[in-house]
């Protein structure tokens, strides 16, 4: 890790910042256009995962989000306060807790999805056809980048767990 080319490291850092700003601005445009609640990224991700996975438990959500159980509990508490998510007893065993999105949660998620599409479409209209082609041609590389980042996260989590066990 200490052998990283400084130029490559600077480029990677700049790219990560641009992606963060791009998502931040797209999210702001979507919220403003649709009058949607302000959901921090962790809450937006949690809502998306709860909607996508029927019968998701808080523990499984924590694993999916790669966050500690207490951090996810706080995220869920905030989503519950806004009426977006609810906890209920599992129909299978009556003991475990499963998460589900409320009607309002589904509405907010779908409004955000359609809003982000509209905001990005409007932004794309201001780009040249050549710029749009360049962006679209970069998608396979971005998919690979995501897979590599996921692998790094998995490796680091495993190393941290091994250190915690004294291995």
> Is pLDDT of 1 > 60?
no
Residue 2 lies in a domain: no
- Per-residue pLDDT tens for 27-79? 888 877 777 777 888 998 999 999 999 889 999 999 999 899 999 999 999 99
Q: How confident is the model at residue 111 (pLDDT cuts 50, 70, 90)?
A: confident
Does residue 34 sit within a domain? yes
% of residues, the chain, pLDDT over 70: 98
Say whether both 49 and 68 belong to one domain: yes
43 and 85 co-located in one domain? yes
- Do both 34 and 48 map to the same domain? yes
Nearest-angstrom CA–CA distance, 159 and 154: 9
Domain holding 144, by residue range, is: 129-160
Residue 43 domain-assigned (yes or no): yes
For the chain, list the strands marked E by DSSP.
Answer: 85-89, 97-101
- Rounded to whole angstroms, the Cα distance separating 155 from 109 reads 31
Q: What is the pTM of this model?
A: 0.72
User: Are residue 32 and residue 102 in the same domain, yes or no?
Assistant: yes
Both 87 and 59 in one domain: the answer is yes
Would you give the DSSP letter of residue 99? E
Q: Does one domain contain both 122 and 138?
A: no
Pair (113, 50) in one structural domain: yes
- If asked whether residues 116 and 142 sit together in one domain, one would say no
Q: What is the pLDDT of residue 21?
A: 87
Same domain membership, residue 119 and residue 78: yes
State whether residue 158 is helix, strand or coil: helix
- Between CA 75 and CA 69 the distance in angstroms is 10
In a domain, 22, yes or no: no
Beta-carbon contacts of residue 38 (< 8 Å; ≥ 6 apart): 31
The answer on 85 and 45 residing in a single domain is: yes
CATH code of the domain containing 32: 1.10.10.10
Do 72 and 148 share a domain, yes or no? no
Is residue 75 domain-resident?
A: yes
For residue 21, is it within any domain? no
**Which pLDDT belongs to residue 95?**
76
Sign of CA dihedral 126, 127, 132, 133: positive
Q: Which of these, 45, 35, 39, 34, lies nearest to 83 by C-alpha position?
A: 39
- State how far the Cα of 119 lies from the Cα of 127, in Å rounded to an integer: 13
Structure token pair of residue 73: 């509990």
90 lies in the same domain as 153 = no
Residue 51 located in a structural domain: yes
If one counts the domains in the chain, the total is: 2
Residue 17, in any domain of the structure = no
């Amino acid at each position: 890790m200490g052998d990283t080319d400084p130029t490559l490291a600077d480029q990677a850092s700049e790219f990560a910042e641009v992606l963060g700003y791009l998502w931040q601005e797209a999210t702001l445009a979507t919220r403003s256009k649709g009058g949607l609640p302000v959901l921090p990224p962790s809450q937006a991700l949690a809502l998306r995962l709860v909607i996508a996975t029927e019968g998701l438990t808080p523990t499984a959500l924590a694993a999916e989000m790669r966050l500690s159980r207490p951090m996810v509990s706080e995220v869920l508490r905030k989503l519950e306060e806004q009426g977006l998510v609810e906890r209920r007893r599992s129909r299978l065993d009556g003991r475990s807790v499963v998460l589900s999105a409320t009607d309002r949660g589904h509405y907010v998620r779908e409004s955000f999805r359609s809003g982000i599409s509209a905001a990005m479409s409007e932004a794309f209209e201001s780009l040249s056809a050549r710029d749009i082609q360049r962006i679209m041609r970069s998608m396979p590389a971005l998919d690979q980048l995501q897979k590599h980042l996921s692998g790094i996260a998995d490796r680091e989590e495993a190393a941290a767990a091994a250190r915690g066990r004294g291995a």
